[in-house]
Amino acid sequence: MPADPTPARQDEEQTVLVLRLAGPLQSWGDRSAFNRRDSRPRPTKSGVVGLLAAAAGRPREADITDLVGLRLGVRIDQPGTLLRDYHTVSDYRGRPLPQAGVNAKGVQKPTSPAKETHVTHRYYLQDAVFVAAVQGPAALVTALAEAVRHPAFPLALGRRSCVPTQPIALGAVRDATLEDVLADEPWQAGEAARNAYRRRAERAPEPFSPHRINLAATFDDPSGEDTAQDVPRSFAPRERGFSTRRIRHTWLSVPTGFPAPATPDRPALKTGGHDPFALLGW
């Protein structure tokens, strides 16, 4: 059976920290192979826990039980596109590459037949924006909120090379439920995606208001219909391992910040201004 994180005691006050995870590149892997590094379409629990542990200054060998026990929700504000980074590896001395196996002396054996080049693939999400929220004991969540604003170690979006843009923490911690917080947090997509959505509303053949948008979201849920094997047991190099959690997929109606539809007592607000791309049909 999947092992869900141990929930916090019911008598503890629960608060929510909201994170905006955006950057040129992100990569949220939950499995790896010798020559392939995949990325999931949304942040993993191990990736978010790792970001929080780095912000709090915890070394890799530190206990992360309290962070794993936080309930996670992730909203996809801008899915981005998948990027494949193609690599080749060769020995600069011109020698054949070694294999993973070693001989009796502990020295890697040469490849047979000799292999001069090794091909690897790494996958990233480019131009993606997510809103992740963690819910847990108020003291822990408040301390993490401060740590994210003043991180002890550099923060990354899944891999070290994936640097986040600011701000990461969205406002103060919240007292509402995880679902309510992600439903109320305004849409965080980039300007290009927001303008495209507004133009779509203006061209729609039927009445269509851009003041709300439906976004996919995933929540930790012991009764969830799906599972994810991305709960870290430890980040220590020799003790890395993962367990499973139950998750629930849903849709949230989220405010965009655009004007609400007109009513008899309130005329529509002008979105106004000249649109230089209007003639192109964008």
**Quick one: pLDDT at residue 268?**
46
Q: What is the pLDDT of residue 109?
A: 83
The bridge status of strand 226-234 relative to strand 36-37 is unpaired
pLDDT at residue 275, rounded to an integer: 47
Cα separation, 53 vs 64, whole angstroms: 8
Q: What is the pLDDT of residue 61?
A: 94
Q: Give residue-wise pLDDT tens across range 253-266.
A: 999 998 876 655 54
Q: What distance in Å separates the CA atoms of residue 163 and residue 74, rounded to the nearest whole number? A: 19
**How large is the average pLDDT for residues 41-65?**
96
What residues form DSSP beta bridges with 88?
119
**DSSP state letters, 112-137:** SS----EEEEEEEEEEEEEEEEEEEE
- Indicate whether 79 pLDDT > 80: yes
Report the percentage of the chain scoring pLDDT > 90.
Answer: 62
pLDDT of the residue at 204: 79
What is the model's pLDDT at position 34? 66
Statement: residue 281 has pLDDT above 80: no
Q: Yes or no: say if 52 and 144 are a contact pair by the CB < 8 Å rule.
A: yes
pTM for this prediction = 0.81
* Domain positions in the chain: 14-85+112-258
Q: Would you state the structure tokens that stand for residue 57, as one six-digit string?
A: 């200054």
**122 or 282, greater pLDDT:** 122
pLDDT value for 145 = 97
The better pLDDT of the pair 157, 31 is held by 157
Please state the φ and ψ torsions of residue 121, each to the nearest 5 degrees.
Answer: -125, 135
Lowest-pLDDT choice from 7-11, 94-98, 233-237 = 7-11
Cα 135 to its chain centre, rounded Å, is 16
Q: Does domain 14-85+112-258 fall into CATH 3.30.420.40? A: no
> Which of 22, 87, 60 is closest to 234 using CA atoms?
60
Mean pLDDT of the chain: 86
pLDDT (mean) for 37-57:
95
Per-residue pLDDT tens digits for 92-130: 888 888 887 788 888 888 887 888 888 888 899 999 999
Residue the block writes with tokens 């995949």:
38
- DSSP calls for 203-258: H-SS---TTEEEEEEEEE-TT-SEEEEEEEEE--TTT-EEEEEEEEEEEEEEE-SS
* Model pLDDT, residue 264: 54
Please report which residue ranges of 111-204 form alpha helices under DSSP H. Answer: 138-149, 178-184, 191-203
- pLDDT value of position 5: 47
Cα gap 164→22, rounded to integer Å: 6
Q: Which of 156, 158, 153 minimizes the C-alpha distance to 58?
A: 153
Span 20-29, average pLDDT? 95
pLDDT of residue 263: 56
Classify residue 101 by its DSSP letter. E
The rounded radius of gyration (Å) of the Cα atoms in the chain is 23
pLDDT reported for residue 244: 94
Calpha distance 188→129 (Å, rounded): 7
Does the structure show a pLDDT above 70 at 203?
yes
